[in-house]
Structures are given as C-alpha cells and as structure tokens.
Amino acid sequence: MGWNAHPLPGPEVTPARSPGRPVALPPNWVQRVTGHAADGGPSGADWVRTVPTLITHALERWGLVVDGEPRTGWTAIVIPVLRGTEALALKVTWPHPEGRHEHLALRLWDGHAAVRMVAADPGAGTLLLERLDADTDLTTMPPEHGCTVVGGLLGELGIPAPAAVADLTAYLLPHLERMASRPEVPRRIAERTISLFDELAAEAQPTTLLHTDLHYENVLRGREPGRDRWLAIDPKPVRGHPGFDVLPLLWNRPDELEGHSFRTAMRRRLEITAEAAGIDVDMAYAWSLVRAGVEVSWSTALEEAEQRTTLIALTKALDD
C-alpha cells in the first residue's frame, strides 16, 4: 500500500475529537474508501463514517496523543501518536478479508523483519505500531537493489503459518473461477493460469506465512535504537508457497528497465528476489505466473486498462 499525504477535495467527515492535534480525514482518501463495495463487512461508505469514533476510542483506550498529520493507503489511515514520550503510529483499517489477519502475522513476527505491533483491537480494526520513517522506503533505490532487500526480508518472514490464516489454494479458487468467466481476460492467459495452478495444487505445498504485498513502498526504515534497518509493513497474510510472494516486486515500477528489455528485466528481478529469499527459482516462476494471471483477471474487474496491459506483458515475460 502506498501512502498519500496530499488530500484532494472530497466528501466531508467530522474530525475525530482527540488530545493533541485534531484528526481531519484527508478528503481524497475518504472519497476513495467511500467507493469500496462491502467485502465481508461494511461498505467503505458505511465504515468511513465510523472512523472518527474508532480513532477517538483507540486514543482513549491506549492513552495516546495525536502527534502529526495522518497518512493514508488504499484501505487504512495511519496517525502519528505519542504514548507519553514514546513515538508510535495508530493504524485504522477498513474491514476486508485480505487485512483480517494482519494483527496475527505481526504478532507472530514480533518485530523481526517487520514493524513491531504494540497493541491491537482486531474487532475494531485498530493497531498500535512502532513509528517508522514513513518518508524513507525503497522507491528511490535501484529496483534490483530493492529486490535484494525485499528478498532478504521474505526469507526472514517466512515462518510456519498458523491454521487460522487463509490457505493460498482455497484463497485462489474463487478468483480462478471468476477468471474463466471474464471475456476480457485473454483466453491463452486464462487457460495457462488455470492449468498451471492445477499442476501446483496437485502437489504438497509448504504452509509458510506469506506477506503477499511486499513491494518497494511497503518497506520502511526503523527509527528506534537498534531498529535502524528495513522493516516490512502492511501484510495481507495467507499460508502457502513462498514463491507466491515474489510478484509485487515485478509489476511495481515496470518502467524502470535500466536499458534492458522488459522480459530480461522482469526475469532478473524475479531471480534476484528468489535467490535472496532462499526460494526455489523455478517455483517462484510458476507461482508468479499464476499470480500474474489472477491479477490480469482482477484488473478487468477494476477496469484498470493500463495496469492490465502491464500485467499481460508480465505474464508473457514470465512464460517460456
């Protein structure tokens, strides 16, 4: 999830009443979240009206004071806060299946290679996290160097997953069924994706705890003493083969090919990431190809033509 600290005009939401600075929700974020259809919980429009109350309750419950302007992502708002003299971050997230077990993954990682979770109220969708340097991510780093960093993090984060976390195979099945019924998905990609998934699913798969969204913007630098290192944020955990975790680094920043062909650059990124993570390269290719096909299908539902074009090119680059 990339952060957006530049609000644009949009629907008004009453600011949360809180100690310290008042929390005004960025209008562009409110407008975007309002468009989210219900996905196992409230619609974005219904939920965003509750956000000021959620913020106020979290501030009171954990004894926090607002300490800066909020930053926003696709489904969450993050507010700099103080607990006494301790600098922390309060995260409030729209309820949706992908984010359901974020608190569980962060608890299991316990600050190792990931942001440290201080407290959580899963029912309210609020997390209290260590504060990281939100202005320092991997987007200014050469892509291949970023792949090395992220690959190393994936290797550290790849611990056994608990049964409570969704199984990757079960998670993908509904997406594959929808793909087969979407005429906008090129037939060759749909057939190849489904066939390859069937091959992979027929074999015993690892039950590794996967981040699933670790890209250049979801890695920030620590600020606390002894924490001056790169740390993962914003997991959307499932359990399955670690090869599934590689794709986000391939389809982010696709324009930075450093003079190479698209195919060469994408395959090089995959191999660097897999090797740094200790993931079998052939399995990383296979799972990335399946995931790219699913993302093509998803992009048709979102009517993201430019993104779909990039993803189609990516599936061709990964397929021999």
DSSP state, residue 203: S
In this prediction, residue 1 carries a pLDDT of: 33
In this prediction, residue 261 carries a pLDDT of: 83
In this prediction, residue 254 carries a pLDDT of: 67
Annotated catalytic residue 213: yes
Going from the C-alpha of 198 to that of each of 69, 207, 243, 246, 283, the distances in angstroms are: 47, 17, 16, 20, 14
**CATH node for 27-130:** 3.30.200.20
In this prediction, residue 257 carries a pLDDT of: 55
Architecture in CATH of 143-318: Alpha-Beta Complex (3.90)
Query: pTM for the complete prediction?
Result: 0.89
Query: 230 is written with which tokens?
Result: 């790169």
Query: 81 is written with which tokens?
Result: 């806060």
In this prediction, residue 2 carries a pLDDT of: 33
Domain ranges of the chain: 27-130, 143-318
Q: Nearest CA to 182 among 285, 276, 300?
A: 300
In this prediction, residue 306 carries a pLDDT of: 75
Q: Nearest CA to 96 among 156, 166, 143, 160?
A: 166
In this prediction, residue 218 carries a pLDDT of: 96
In this prediction, residue 98 carries a pLDDT of: 86
In this prediction, residue 307 carries a pLDDT of: 78
Average pLDDT per run of 10 along the chain, which is 320 residues long? 32 51 87 91 95 96 96 94 97 92 97 98 97 94 94 98 94 91 90 95 92 96 94 97 94 65 88 97 96 89 76 85
Could you say which of 137, 213, 234, 245 is catalytic? 213
